[in-house]
Amino acid sequence: MLKPINTLNVTDSNSIMKPSIILINPWIYDFAAYDMWAKPLGLLYLAGRLRFSGLDVHFIDCLDVHNTALRGLDYLKAPARRKYGTGKFWKQTIPKPPQLKNIARNYSRYGIPEELYRNELTKVKNPAAILITSLMTYWYPGVFEAIRIAREIHHHVPIVLGGIYALLCTKHAENYSNADIVIASSSSEENENRLNEFLVKLMPGIDIKRSTSPFIPYPSFDLFTKIDYICLLGSIGCPFSCPYCASNYLGPYFLKREPMDLFEEVLFWYQKYKVTDFAFYDDALLVDAERHISIVLERIIKAGIPLRFHCPNGLHVAYIDKEMASLLYKAGFKTIRLGLETSDVSLHKKLGEKFSVGQFERAAINLKQAGFSASQIGAYILMGLPGQSYNQVEETIKDVGKIDAMPYLSEYSPIPHTRMWEDAVNASRFDIASEPLFHNNTLIPCWDGNDLSNVSRLKNLASQLRL
């Protein structure tokens, strides 16, 4: 197995001769964006592997809130940051794309100004390749702009595009991104093979190390200006098949990590970089808990280290019994998000019926008895699904309020390659099949009429119950 600790801060006397690769985390172009433990984890894992292979990796984070050059720009307002490492991004209002011109909201570029991005690109002389990632399908304008400027500065350097947008909207990316290669297979092994072959052709003699595990080497968080928090993966994929989610398409198999490997990574970041906030990116963290996450949490409790854990992707309520609730509390979980989706029985069945009647209430009670406050227990409520009504969302919000938990609305974004996609295409008032910009959840693209006009009332109701 590769030794992960040795992959960070790798230097030697010949480092100046190493081939250089630029990795880019692009801007977000959107009506709103918030740093809720948002990091390009796949790109960071790739950075670790490339560094272990002997390449000189230059990471450009267009979303870097700690870039020291930003403090001297008086035309930008410093973003408010909150505890646990979350907060707002730097932003600049920009013209809306023509497709969104009728949307009565400001459109912004979130991240560093263009001139700082250009400066970062010019620091790297003669890179062998530029690799750029992508996330939300409707954030592609920021990806395209990052590619355009990189092409302008490094004329003859090949550009490779990967990430979620590239995989979900491959034809769109191939036709319009101006990248030389779009890495877009649902098989991570196939993606790795294709990228390795491409890099070896560019740099004959370079031995690109293969991954012996998808979790090793560790992701290169040390490339950031400052490490506010670490994003963890205890597993990849998901054993469930929610009709609105693309997890099964993005990763068609479910693989749990060895518990002690996960514990050792947590210990590594805490001991070496003094990190105390960790966000789990797992889609199914509590599945098979006795043989996995429970072991990790028990070791953390036994070690007595002061850590804080967060679960922005949500936890499955069916697995939160009294023992699990106690483990979560004692291990230092601070942000609990439960995947409620809806309390409407008929809609709940259509969404997969992942828990039984009463289990959500019992999970909330177990968490409170373990020591969590109501303000720490949030419930994700889906809003804007095809065929869903305003009344169904309103009742779910009220049901969450009745058990003294915090309702958080999760606006539906139609995603290609999901089981709900065809319903979304038929229901949407936009041409979501042709234009990814219309996937934007701000638009509530699959609602219209009375349901759409009452969205602000639902948001206000949820907000009032969180006070």
288-333 tens-digit pLDDT: 999 999 999 999 999 999 999 999 999 999 999 999 999 999 999 9
Task: Express each pLDDT in 72-124 by its tens digit.
Answer: 788 888 999 998 999 999 999 999 999 999 999 999 999 999 999 999 999 99
pTM of the prediction? 0.94
pLDDT band at 25 (very low <50, low <70, confident <90, very high): very high
Q: Contact at 8 Å (CB) between 209 and 45? A: no
Q: Contact at 8 Å (CB) between 48 and 219? A: yes
Q: Contact at 8 Å (CB) between 24 and 150? A: yes
Task: Express each pLDDT in 169-227 by its tens digit.
Answer: 999 999 999 999 999 976 778 888 899 999 999 998 888 888 788 999 999 999 999 99
Contacts (Cβ under 8 Å, ≥6 apart) of 280: 231, 232, 233, 234, 309, 310, 311, 312, 313
Helix, strand, coil fractions of the chain, as percent rounded to 5: 40, 15, 40
Q: Contact at 8 Å (CB) between 146 and 27? A: yes
The letter for the amino acid at 108 is S
The letter for the amino acid at 454 is N
For 348, other C-beta atoms within 10 Å of its C-beta total 19
| Mean predicted confidence (pLDDT) in 37-57 | 96
The neighbouring-strand residues paired with 381 are 341, 409
Contacts (Cβ under 8 Å, ≥6 apart) of 172: 140, 436
* CA angle, residues 376, 363, 251, in degrees to nearest 5: 85
pLDDT band at 15 (very low <50, low <70, confident <90, very high): very low
pLDDT of residue 189: 82
Q: Contact at 8 Å (CB) between 300 and 263? A: yes
DSSP E strands: which ranges in 44-146? 56-61, 91-94, 107-110, 129-132
**Mean pLDDT computed over every residue of the chain:** 94
Name the nearest CA neighbour of 409 among 439, 378, 440. 378
Separation between Cα atoms, residue 273 and residue 434, nearest integer Å: 45
Q: How many residues in total does the chain contain?
A: 467
Cα–Cα distances in angstroms (integers) from residue 298 to residues 18, 285, 290, 363, in the given order: 42, 15, 10, 20
**DSSP designation for 82:** -
Separation between Cα atoms, residue 146 and residue 134, nearest integer Å: 11
Please give the backbone phi and psi of residue 143, each rounded to the nearest 5 degrees, phi first.
-65, -45
pLDDT band at 259 (very low <50, low <70, confident <90, very high): very high
DSSP E strands: which ranges in 44-134? 56-61, 91-94, 107-110, 129-132
Cα–Cα distances in angstroms (integers) from residue 122 to residues 88, 175, 376, in the given order: 27, 27, 45
pLDDT of residue 75: 85
The letter for the amino acid at 119 is N
Q: Which domains does the chain have, with CATH numbers?
A: 4-202 (3.40.50.2300), 229-465 (3.20.20.70)
pLDDT band at 12 (very low <50, low <70, confident <90, very high): very low
pLDDT of residue 467: 82
Spell out the long-range contacts of 270-274 with Cβ–Cβ below 8 A and sequence spacing 24 or more: 270/305, 270/307, 272/5, 272/8, 273/221, 273/222, 273/227
Biggest CA–CA distance in the chain, Å, is 67
pLDDT band at 252 (very low <50, low <70, confident <90, very high): confident
Q: Contact at 8 Å (CB) between 436 and 137? A: yes
Q: Is the pLDDT of residue 287 over 50?
A: yes
